[in-house]
């Protein structure tokens, strides 16, 4: 698996998302086993958040990484309404307890909120000094937000990116590449929606003897400094996703995908889900 440097760690360019996990106790065992299968396949970067399942996803992660903490790079996110001087350490402590660990490798502000960024950053830095987190970063920040943040210690920005949602190619992605800040691409297979039945994606998949999800992942990963974090519970999906980093798209493949979703020619507001 191709790797890159994120938060002072070497990580695979494909990780595992956890949104929608921890919401249904009947699914819990399957979700735990899925994350463990993913780790065994090399998808050792796990992305979660206090928001997912209101802590349920972090509990699933905790079960999945028991006895395997050292193999995993753990990313979690704090709600903006908790991103205050006192709110951040309390939220982090709850996340650590749910994940049954004493350390989060990378802790992100989930989206821009109303607390001053200086206050949030100061609280992140205190957690770092206390050895509770390795690095901190942000999510759903546009270029203007990163300029407001103006802090070279920010380890990543996690944003929506897939062939249907490529507005960031106009300015945000080049801006991040220019300062060597890795981008974590969420919903990299479009939440398994109509992206996967698009004729251009199907034709490119046919050319590579691959699946549409693999083509979407390969397309996201054609950019330097990008990590994709697909979520999968189905073990077959995990195996398929783990192989996607091996696919190199040709110029002809990219042009065909451009014909369905052209590259942006002007600034558009950052899309979020």
Ligand X SMILES: NC(=O)c1ccc[n+]([C@@H]2O[C@H](COP(=O)([O-])OP(=O)(O)OC[C@H]3O[C@@H](n4cnc5c(N)ncnc54)[C@H](OP(=O)(O)O)[C@@H]3O)[C@@H](O)[C@H]2O)c1
Query: So which residues are the catalytic ones?
Result: 52
Phi first, then psi: what are they for 149, rounded to 5°?
Answer: -65, -45
**Helix crossing, 251-260 with 212-220: angle to 10°?**
100
231 binds ligand X (CB under 6 A): yes
Separation CA 131–CA 145 (nearest Å)? 27
Task: Report the nearest approach of ligand X to the CB of residue 10 (Å).
Answer: 20
DSSP symbols for 206-233: HHTT--HHHHHHHHHTTSTTEEE-----
157 binds ligand X (CB under 6 A): no
Task: Report the nearest approach of ligand X to the CB of residue 18 (Å).
Answer: 5
Task: Report the nearest approach of ligand X to the CB of residue 189 (Å).
Answer: 4
Question: Which of 86-94, 189-197, 247-255, 262-270 is the region at the interface with ligand X (rule: CB under 6 A)?
Answer: 189-197
Question: Which of 98-106, 115-123, 231-239, 257-265 is the region at the interface with ligand X (rule: CB under 6 A)?
Answer: 231-239
Enter the DSSP assignment of 107: E
* Token pair recorded at residue 189: 């297979």
What is the number of the residue whose Cβ is closest to ligand X? 17
191 binds ligand X (CB under 6 A): yes
Q: Binding mask 120-139 vs ligand X (x if CB under 6 A, - otherwise)? A: -------------------x
The CA R_g of the chain, rounded to the nearest whole Å, is: 18
CA dihedral sign, ordered 54, 217, 181, 155: positive
Q: Which of 202, 203, 156 is nearest to 183 (CA)?
A: 156
Separation CA 243–CA 217 (nearest Å)? 10
189 binds ligand X (CB under 6 A): yes
Q: Map the footprint of ligand X across residues 48-107, applying CB under 6 A.
A: none
Among 136, 141, 161, 186, binds ligand X (CB under 6 A): 186
Among 44, 101, 140, 156, binds ligand X (CB under 6 A): 140
Phi first, then psi: what are they for 237, rounded to 5°?
Answer: -60, -45
Separation CA 188–CA 96 (nearest Å)? 27
Question: Which of 60-68, 121-129, 171-179, 228-236 is the region at the interface with ligand X (rule: CB under 6 A)?
Answer: 228-236
Contact residues for ligand X, defined by CB under 6 A: 17-19, 47, 110, 139-140, 158, 186-192, 211, 213, 229-234, 237, 240-241, 273
């Amino acid at each position: 698996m191709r790797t890159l440097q994120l938060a002072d760690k070497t990580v695979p360019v494909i990780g595992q998302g956890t949104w929608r996990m921890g919401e249904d106790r009947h699914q819990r065992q399957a979700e735990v086993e899925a994350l463990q299968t993913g780790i065994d396949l090399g998808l050792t970067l796990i992305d979660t958040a206090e928001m997912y399942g209101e802590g349920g996803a972090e509990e699933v992660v905790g079960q999945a990484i028991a006895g395997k903490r050292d193999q995993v790079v753990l990313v979690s996110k704090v709600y903006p309404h908790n991103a205050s001087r006192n709110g951040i350490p309390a939220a982090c402590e709850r996340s650590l307890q749910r994940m049954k660990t004493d350390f989060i490798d990378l802790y992100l502000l989930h989206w821009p909120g109303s607390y001053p960024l200086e206050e949030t950053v100061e609280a992140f830095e205190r957690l770092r000094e206390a050895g509770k987190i390795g690095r901190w970063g942000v999510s759903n920040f546009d270029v203007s937000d990163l300029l407001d943040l103006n802090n070279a210690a920010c380890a990543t920005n996690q944003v929506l990116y897939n062939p249907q949602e490529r507005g960031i190619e106009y300015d945000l992605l080049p801006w991040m590449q220019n300062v060597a800040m890795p981008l974590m691409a969420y919903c990299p297979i479009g939440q398994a929606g109509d992206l996967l039945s698009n004729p251009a994606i199907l034709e490119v998949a046919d050319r590579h003897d691959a699946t549409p999800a693999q083509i979407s992942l390969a397309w996201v990963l054609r950019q330097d400094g990008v990590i994709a974090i697909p979520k999968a519970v189905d073990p077959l999906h995990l195996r398929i996703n783990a192989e996607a980093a091996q696919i190199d798209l040709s110029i002809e493949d990219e042009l065909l995908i451009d014909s369905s979703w052209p590259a942006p020619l002007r600034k558009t507001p950052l899309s979020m889900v």
